[in-house]
Structure 1
Amino acid sequence: MNVTEILLIIGIICIIVSFFFKNSRKQADELEDISISLHQETNQLKKRLRAVEEELLIDVNPISPSKQLKTKPIHEIIVNQILSLHAQGYSITDIAKRSSLTNEEVMHVLQTRGVSSR
């Protein structure tokens, strides 16, 4: 083998190897592009979420206790428990503690059922 054949073989090997390195670089570039676009989309979603949160905070109105009584339904089982405890002689405070309601809610239930609170 003379020098020209050796150089020709080395050149062919270098060309073949260069194809593999170009593909890996292309994949790295694609991965980087995907990563950048994902980061940008995440930032856009965060901005939208902040805008929605701000809108919700602006529209929030404090609810008065009288509105809570009208809008918050009390389950029939709890109503029956309140009536039973009242019949047994428990105080409004004790009934409220046992039923996890406020004193006003217990009195409202008793009033709507026609029971006089003591």
Structure 2
Amino acid sequence: MNTLPLTLSVKDPDGVLIRYKKILSTYQRVRSMSRAFQIHGVDRNTMASTSPIAELLLVAPEKVAEVGEFDASKEKLLDYARRCYKTMDEPTHAKVQTMKKTHKLLPISYRFRN
């Protein structure tokens, strides 16, 4: 019986972090990002666009205060992710890249259009 998993619907930064950690642990086990996304029923682009939120929460939680609160009534998660990305300084980016190389973070890249 081959059933598709329930898609992990995410509505806030905490949900993004939970989903990211689940997919990361699956990725560390199966060693394939596409397989990990498939197992969890999450689109790669969705993960790429929200991963700065999880990376900031995992690598530099002290910087979250600089980003400010997420207000679902005023902005989309993508806008919040863009703010998280812009808050990361060079040392934080370097730490994120190092953790990606050692499989402690998903080796996923993203680009934001301004």
Q: TM-score, with normalisation over the residues of structure 2?
A: 0.30
Higher helix share: 1
